[in-house]
Amino acid sequence: GGFRGGELIVNTFAYHFTPAGSMLECGAQALGCTVIPTGVGQTEMQVTTIRDLRVAGLVGTPSFLKLIVEKADEMKADIASLGKAHVGAEYLPPALRQGMAARGIRVSQSYASADLGLIAYESLMPEGTVNEGMILDEALILEIVRPGTGDPLPAGEVGEVVITSLNRDYPLIRFGTGDLSAMLPGASPCGRTNARIRGWMGRADQTTKVRAMFVTPKQVNEVLRRHPEVLKARLVVEGETGNDRMTLKCEAGERADGLVEAIVASIREVTKLRGEVELVAPGSLPNDGKVIEDARKYG
């Protein structure tokens, strides 16, 4: 996050019943920063602390950063000392990052989880630009797999982030994070050469309900397994409440006679539901990690 030794940091992650507070505190202390643990909530006290102690940096979720800055405006509190924030634990909207930059707060993010600790982090150029993507933590092995399977995807395809961590205290082998991302080609402009991923791109678990029955990515992949001619598939669920329709769009090179009928039969066997099948050209399905797309309109 561009923090430097000697700087005063407010840590707005919680320490109670979650490792987030402690994890970020240890990181900041390793850099030589002094950390004020505030936890979540108490926004007014957090603003007062930043103002009175001229705090240089903030660590927390994007939401809390926003809340605190808005509260400072409301209180007309001078928090100009706050020049950087390092965020995580939820999606960082680009508009929020731009808004913060406009008022002099440089925002960078990292991607971590309670089980794994740090997974990947953004890097900064000397003049402060935040580089694209996130660099994988050097101690981890990362795979991108097709959701609902353990099968690695070709570079650049969006899929579930699966991590192997060989640390002695808490080793994890092929731990499915449930998050979607993809590998980024090339090396970071900052000079680090480890693997890079695009940021967090959504959750991998696309289990949905169709006509009151659960349909899972694993079932979609079971259908695919029965038809090797199909290279990639995406189950699209449409319709109004009480009238769900599902269509399996299949990228297929060879289109053997009876393929569509055979897939329809497999769908019924695996999901106990009726589904249509539409054959599409290889490479035509979107690269967004979705095995099941819920295209129904709600509300």
Q: Is 170 in the site for a second copy (CB under 8 A)?
A: no
Q: Is 16 in the site for a second copy (CB under 8 A)?
A: yes
Q: Is 114 in the site for a second copy (CB under 8 A)?
A: no
Residue whose CB is less far from a second copy, 39 or 83: 39
Q: Is 15 in the site for a second copy (CB under 8 A)?
A: yes
Amino acid letter, 54: R
The nearest distance, CB 6 to a second copy, in angstroms, is 14
Q: Is 43 in the site for a second copy (CB under 8 A)?
A: no
Q: Is 39 in the site for a second copy (CB under 8 A)?
A: yes
How far is residue 59's CA from residue 3's CA, in Å, rounded to a whole number?
10
How far is residue 244's CA from residue 200's CA, in Å, rounded to a whole number?
30
Using the structure block, give the residue that is written with the tokens 């795979």: 143
Q: At what angle do helices 43-53 and 62-75 cross, to 10 degrees?
A: 70
The nearest distance, CB 50 to a second copy, in angstroms, is 13
> How far apart, in Å, are the Cα atoms of 221 and each of 51, 178, 208, 224, 259?
55, 17, 15, 5, 16
Residue whose CB is less far from a second copy, 45 or 80: 45
Q: Which of 20, 27, 38, 177 binds a second copy (CB under 8 A)?
A: 38
Q: Which of 1, 2, 9, 14 binds a second copy (CB under 8 A)?
A: 14
Residue whose CB is less far from a second copy, 21 or 27: 21
What element of type H or E holds 294?
Answer: strand 292-294
Q: Which of 2, 21, 147, 289 binds a second copy (CB under 8 A)?
A: 21
Non-local (6+) Cβ contacts of 195 within 8 A are 135, 136, 142, 183
Using the structure block, give the residue that is written with the tokens 């054959």: 279
| Residue 99, helix vs strand vs coil | helix
Total site size for a second copy, rule CB under 8 A = 12
Binding site for a second copy (CB under 8 A): 14-17, 21-22, 37-40, 42, 45
